[in-house]
Amino acid sequence: MAPLAGLGPFATLKVESRGDVVALVTLNRPEVANAINTQMGQDLLDVWTHLTEADHGLRCVVLTGAGAQVFCAGADLKERHGMSVHTWQRQHELFERMGAALTELPIPVIAAVNGHAYAGGFELALGCDFMFASRAARFALTEVTLGIMPGLGGTQNLPRAIGDRRARQILLTGSPIDAEKALAWGLVNELCEPEAAVQQAVTVAQRIADNAPLSVRQIKKAVRYGREMDLRTAFRFEVEAYNHLIQTEDRREGIAAFNERRKPVFKGR
C-alpha cells in the first residue's frame, strides 16, 4: 500500500492505493469511533471532489473505518456540544456537499463496514454503491433519539435499499439491527469475518477495475438516474448510455479480446 499522489495527507483520513487502479479510503479517528467532525467532512469532500475532477486513473474505491470495532459512529457530538445554530448549519452544509459528492462520484465506491455504522456513518455507507460488512457490525439511524433526523440521505437511500416499511422501523425507532438482519433485508451484499471485510471489498473492487471503465461509469449513471424516472424513460436513458460506448476503443478491444481468447486491455477510451 502506498499514498496516492495528489491526495493528502489528511488529518482524519488515510488514502492508499491497492494496486494501480483501486483506492482504499479509511476514516481515521479511531479514538472517537471515527466520528465525523468538521475536518473529516472537509477531508472527505476534498477526496470525492478530487476523484471526480482529476485525471487519477482510479477505477474503484473502497471506504472503511480504522479499527476493528466501528466503521463510523456518525457526527462528532462532542464537537457539536454547545455549537451555535449558525455554526451547526454551516457544518451541516459542508456535510451535505460531501454527501452529494459521494453520491455523484462517477467511479464505484464499495463500503467495507468493518464494525458498527451509526447515524451519519450509516448514511455514508448507504451513499456507496454497495457494501460488505463484518458479521459483528450493527446498523442504526439514531438521530430521532437526539432530537434531529437523518440529513445525509438516510430517509431516501434506506427506503430505496430495503423498502419503506423496514426503513420506517429503523428511522422511527432509532434501534440498531444486526448484520444478519441487514443481509436478510438486502442492505448488505455479503457478510464477512470481522478481519476480512476490507479484503473482500478490495477483491471485488479489483474485479470491477478489470472491466471497461467507461462501461462501469455508464452503468453507474444509468442505475443512479434511471431509478428516478418512469420505466419507459429509464429504458431510453439506458439506450442513450449504451450508445455512448459503441464508438469507444474499449468496445473494440473487448470484442477483439473475446475473439482472440485473451484478456482485454481497457484504457478508458
- Residues with catalytic roles: 123, 143
β-pairing verdict for 22-27 and 60-65: parallel
| Strand pairing category for 190-192 and 22-27 | unpaired
In sequence order, the β-bridge partners of residue 192 are: 134
**Do residues 124 and 112 make contact, with C-beta atoms less than 8 angstroms apart?**
no
Q: What are phi and psi of 130, to 5 degrees?
A: -165, 175
Confirm if 189 and 129 have CB atoms less than 8 A apart: no
The phi and psi torsions of 82 (rounded to 5 degrees) equal 85, 0
Reading the block at residue 162, the C-alpha cell is 430495503
